[in-house]
Amino acid sequence: MDSLVFFILALCSLSSTSFIESSKIQNGFTIDLIHRDSPKSPFYNPSLTHLDLIRNAYLRSNSRLNKLSISLLSNDEKNESPESIILPNNGDYLMRIFIGTPPIEKLVIVDTGSDLTWVQCAPCVNCFTQDTPFYDRTKSSTFSNVSCDTQSCTLLPKKQQFCGKFNECLYSYHYGDKSYTIGQLGVDSISFGSNSVVQGVNDNVNNISFPKSIFGCGYYNVFTADNSVRTAGLVGLGAGPLSLVSQLGDSIGHKFSYCLVSFTSNSSSKLKFGNEAIISGDGVVSTPLIIKPSEPTFYYLNLEGISVGQKTIQTGQTNGNMIIDSGTTLTYLEQSFFDDFVTSVKEVIGLEEREDTPSPFHYCFTYHPDVGFPYIVLHFTGANLSLEPKNMLLLYENNLVCLAVVPSNIQGISILGNVAQVDFQVEYDLEGKKLSFVPSNCAKN
Ligand SMILES: *[C@@H]1O[C@H](CO)[C@@H](O)[C@H](O)[C@H]1NC(C)=O
Ligand SMILES: *[C@@H]1O[C@H](CO)[C@@H](O)[C@H](O)[C@H]1NC(C)=O
Ligand SMILES: *[C@@H]1O[C@H](CO)[C@@H](O)[C@H](O)[C@H]1NC(C)=O
Ligand SMILES: *[C@@H]1O[C@H](CO)[C@@H](O)[C@H](O)[C@H]1NC(C)=O
């Protein structure tokens, strides 16, 4: 078994082809993304008010940022073999995957901020509660081990890879907040119940199947924060070599896109791969996608400045200063830049900050219909992104409106969160190294 896996994997080159055997998917495919708090989510709690949900969302956002900052800091400080960190429990969006033969459905977190796709596995030594049975490799006829001498095993960061007594490839991912997952790298079929009609993939037009996907079979999994969502694992859409996107590679033309609806919407957000992911037409703007060798998971953009009404604040940066992430709720701006930004926003709105501004917000004001919110344009290299009030503001409480932009505690790094991306189609082209945006009604498209 192992030697066959080795053989198949050895045939695949790393960056330009897909690992996963599948016929080229002509038209791409589309998957529903479920916001964890939306009416479509199995974790939907109708007793929570809109305001409860917003509070929960920003708490998650902050916990995620703390983990991100720990990960980035530790990389700078100890330069030897950085631990790459996944942010497992804070993703706001979920999707369904089917794994193994016969296929078992799993609801997992979708994460553009991490690479390895993993699920909790039986026999579980230490797992967190989930609503469905654990994946059991002995019950899947298509599971195979990955042995230590395969290329896919060496794609794990060195410090996170070790070898078991059957020469099986083991992984260990530790997160900044003491969460972790430890298990075995495996290969099995992962399929998606797609909403698209696809030809030439298999008989079932709604079933897109990737028979040789590499994933983590986690036997020790701990999430220290927020256990309210009992997902079965995570799908990594980061830029690193083990992520689902990198594994699908050529078969999806190295492209995916998403269109996010606000979490109070009854419609689903969409995640698209391949040709379906390509956005075009009036209003499309594109900016270079920067992948840093030191931190290959994250998608960086270069934010040159922000206009608030008539005024433009420059960052003076050219080298990738903003991470775009689908799993972070709020937008975080580098501290010094944030101060100028918030001052400009206050000037235009002309209302004082409310004394009861709740943490972590830095500017909340009393809503009334006459308040004008300034035009805000993010100036990325080659792309101006005009944001609407819904991308910048959250209603926190009756009449208390807060700016969904807060200071970042990571030196020199800002994060574009998912509130700012609502109602845009966002296309990631990993081969062309560009990121494109177009305004869109995501509930309809
Ligand atoms: C895969 O690895 C497990 C140990 O995790 C071992 O028990 C099993 O025999 C291996 N299976 C194959 C097919 O090598
Ligand atoms: C998808 O198709 C593959 C190949 O035909 C099949 O093995 C798998 O069971 C199907 N998955 C689902 C969820 O129907
Ligand atoms: C969403 O669905 C809920 C319950 O199904 C309903 O009460 C609500 O009015 C819907 N909201 C919108 C915006 O359609
Ligand atoms: C973006 O906006 C600025 C200021 O309005 C303008 O000077 C620049 O040419 C625009 N860039 C693009 C790519 O449209």
Query: Of 19-23, 144-148, 361-365, 384-388, which range is least confident?
Result: 19-23
Res 361: pLDDT: 87
Q: Phi then psi for 8, rounded to 5 degrees?
A: -65, -45
Task: Assess whether pLDDT exceeds 80 at residue 189.
Answer: yes
Residue from 204, 205, 210, 213 whose mutation best tests the ligand 2 pocket (most atoms within 8 A of CB): 204
C-beta separation of 436 from 284 below 8 A: yes
CA-to-CA distance for 119 and 121, rounded, in angstroms?
6
Quote the mean pLDDT of the chain: 81
Task: Assess whether pLDDT exceeds 50 at residue 203.
Answer: no
Distance 302 CA to ligand 4 centre (A): 14
Task: Assess whether pLDDT exceeds 50 at residue 413.
Answer: yes
Of ligand 3's listed atoms, the one at least distance from the Cα of 266 is: 1
Residue 142 near ligand 1, beta carbon < 6 Å: no
Residue from 145, 170, 182 whose mutation best tests the ligand 1 pocket (most atoms within 8 A of CB): 145
Band the pLDDT of 379: cuts 50, 70, 90.
very high
Query: Given CA atoms 151, 152, 158, 161 in this order, what sign does their dihedral have?
Result: negative
Of ligand 1's listed atoms, the one at least distance from the Cα of 1 is: 13
Distance 161 CA to ligand 1 centre (A): 17
Query: Given CA atoms 164, 167, 168, 173 in this order, what sign does their dihedral have?
Result: positive
Task: Assess whether pLDDT exceeds 50 at residue 7.
Answer: no
Band the pLDDT of 355: cuts 50, 70, 90.
confident
Res 257: pLDDT: 97
Res 410: pLDDT: 80
- Higher-confidence residue of 135 and 114: namely 135
Mean pLDDT to the nearest integer, 254-268: 88
C-beta separation of 185 from 149 below 8 A: no
Residue 168 near ligand 1, beta carbon < 6 Å: yes
CA-to-CA distance for 146 and 185, rounded, in angstroms?
6
Task: Assess whether pLDDT exceeds 80 at residue 78.
Answer: no
Shortest-distance Cα residue to atom 12 of ligand 1: 145
Residue 145 near ligand 1, beta carbon < 6 Å: yes
Please tell me the CATH superfamily of domain 2-275, with its number. Answer: Acid Proteases (2.40.70.10)
Of ligand 1's listed atoms, the one at least distance from the Cα of 168 is: 2
Task: Assess whether pLDDT exceeds 90 at residue 313.
Answer: yes
CA-to-CA distance for 84 and 72, rounded, in angstroms?
9
C-beta separation of 171 from 160 below 8 A: yes
Mean pLDDT to the nearest integer, 76-89: 36
Res 50: pLDDT: 66
Res 229: pLDDT: 58
Q: Domain residues of the chain, as ranges?
A: 2-275, 279-439
CA-to-CA distance for 182 and 264, rounded, in angstroms?
35
Residue 388 near ligand 1, beta carbon < 6 Å: no
Res 77: pLDDT: 38
Which one of the ligands is nearest to 381 CA? 4
Res 15: pLDDT: 32
Of ligand 4's listed atoms, the one at least distance from the Cα of 312 is: 4
The structure tokens listed for 92 are: 């706001």
Distance 266 CA to ligand 3 centre (A): 6
Res 352: pLDDT: 82
* 385, burial (CB in 10 Å: exposed 0-12, middle 13-18, buried 19+): buried
Mean pLDDT to the nearest integer, 239-253: 93
Res 120: pLDDT: 94
Distance 137 CA to ligand 2 centre (A): 17
Distance 151 CA to ligand 4 centre (A): 45
Of ligand 1's listed atoms, the one at least distance from the Cα of 145 is: 1
Task: Assess whether pLDDT exceeds 70 at residue 265.
Answer: yes
Task: Write out pLDDT tens, residues 161-170.
Answer: 999 999 999 9
Could you give the residue numbers annotated as active site? 111, 325
Distance 278 CA to ligand 1 centre (A): 41
Q: Which protein residues are within 6 Å of ligand 3, measured from CB?
A: 39, 266
Res 147: pLDDT: 96
Which one of the ligands is nearest to 164 CA? 1
Q: For the whole model, what pTM was predicted? A: 0.85
- Higher-confidence residue of 61 and 438: namely 438
Band the pLDDT of 2: cuts 50, 70, 90.
very low
Task: Write out pLDDT tens, residues 9-28.
Answer: 222 223 333 444 444 466 78
CA-to-CA distance for 210 and 113, rounded, in angstroms?
22
CA-to-CA distance for 345 and 306, rounded, in angstroms?
11
C-beta separation of 186 from 218 below 8 A: no
Task: Assess whether pLDDT exceeds 70 at residue 399.
Answer: yes
Distance 39 CA to ligand 3 centre (A): 8
Mean pLDDT to the nearest integer, 115-133: 89
Say how many C-beta atoms besides its own lie within 10 A of residue 180's C-beta: 18
Task: Assess whether pLDDT exceeds 90 at residue 322.
Answer: yes
**Sheet with strand 414-416: strands edge to edge:** 290-292, 295-301, 322-324, 414-416, 331-334, 405-408
Which one of the ligands is nearest to 312 CA? 4
C-beta separation of 112 from 95 below 8 A: no
| 3-state SS, residue 244 | helix
Residue from 306, 375, 384 whose mutation best tests the ligand 4 pocket (most atoms within 8 A of CB): 384
The structure tokens listed for 234 are: 């995570």
Query: Given CA atoms 45, 49, 52, 53 in this order, what sign does their dihedral have?
Result: positive
The beta strands (E) that lie in 164-276 are given as 169-174, 180-193, 207-222, 233-236, 255-259, 269-273
What fold does the segment set 279-439 form as a domain? Cathepsin D, subunit A; domain 1 (2.40.70)
Task: Assess whether pLDDT exceeds 50 at residue 184.
Answer: yes
Res 209: pLDDT: 85
Residue 166 near ligand 1, beta carbon < 6 Å: yes
Distance 377 CA to ligand 4 centre (A): 10
Of ligand 1's listed atoms, the one at least distance from the Cα of 165 is: 4
- 293 prior amide bond cis, ω within 30: no
Mean pLDDT to the nearest integer, 263-289: 91
Band the pLDDT of 52: cuts 50, 70, 90.
confident
- Higher-confidence residue of 214 and 372: namely 214
Residue 2 near ligand 1, beta carbon < 6 Å: yes
Query: Tokens 């498209």 correspond to what residue?
Result: 445
| 2-275 shares its CATH topology with 279-439 | yes
